[in-house]
Structure 1
Amino acid sequence: MEMKGLLPSIVTYNSLLRKLCEAGQMKDANNLLNEMSDKKIEPDNVTCNTLINAYCKIGDMESAWKFRNKMLEGGLVQDQFTYKALIHGFCKTREMDKAKELLFETIS
């Protein structure tokens, strides 16, 4: 793409991130996120939710929560996909208090 003068957009990066996350290649996904940063392409909700969901699926709730915090610090807002991924992740890791807290946050 780039050799033909076409620059990747956030949609392109989100597609690549999704596939890397689905394949469990979190290190490569984070490298791609760094590349986005280098090119001044800001993550959007899709970017953040993709990574949060991937971390939740592998039970790495610490990384999922850290990324959620970065998402909020960047001015993005949690949506239904963010909550769903985090609630499922905390249930999976048997952190029921955190899951309940998030659930109540979604209905209030």
Structure 2
Amino acid sequence: MEMKGLIPGVVTYNSILRKLCEAGNMKEANSLLNEMNDKKIEPDNVTCNTFINAYCKIGDMSSAWKFRNKMLEGGLVQDQFTYKALIHGFCKIKEMDKAKQLLFDMLDAGND
């Protein structure tokens, strides 16, 4: 793509990141995220939710939560996909109190 003079944007990166995350290649996905940063391509909600969902699926809630915090620090807002991934992740590791609190937060935010 770049050899033909086309510059990949956030949508292109999101597509590749999604496949890497689905395959469990988190190291490669994070490397690609660093490449985005180097090229000054800002992650969007799709980017963040892709990572949050991937970390939740493997039960790495610490990384999922850190990514969620970076998302909020970057001025993005949690949407229904963010909440649902986190709720499922906390349920997976049997932290029901955190899952319940997120559910209440989601309902309060109007993202049901």
C-alpha separation in 1, matches of 2:44 and 2:107: 24
CA RMSD of aligned residues (A): 0.4
Distance 1:17 1:57 in 2: 15
Residue of structure 1 in register with 2:8 after alignment: 8
SS in structure 2 of the partner of residue 41 of structure 1: coil
| Residue 107 of structure 1: how far off its partner (Å) | 1.2
What amino acid is the match of 1:68? Answer: R
What are the residue-to-residue correspondences of 1:26-37 with 2, within 5 Å? 26-37=26-37
**Residue 48 in 1 paired to residue 69 in 2?**
no
Gap regions ≥5 residues in structure 1 = none
Equivalent position amino acid for 2:25 in 1: Q
State how far apart, in whole Å, the 1-side matches of 2:34 and 2:66 are: 16
Alignment of 1:59 onto 2:59: yes
% identical aligned pairs: 84
Distance 1:29 1:95 in 2: 27
- For residue 100 of structure 1, what is the aligned residue in structure 2? 100
Name stretches of at least 5 consecutive residues in structure 2 with no aligned partner: none
Tell me the number of residue pairs that the alignment of Structure 1 and Structure 2 aligns. 108
The TM-score with structure 2 as length reference comes to 0.96
1:62 Cα deviation from its structure 2 partner: 0.1
Runs of 4 or more off by more than 3 Å in structure 1? none
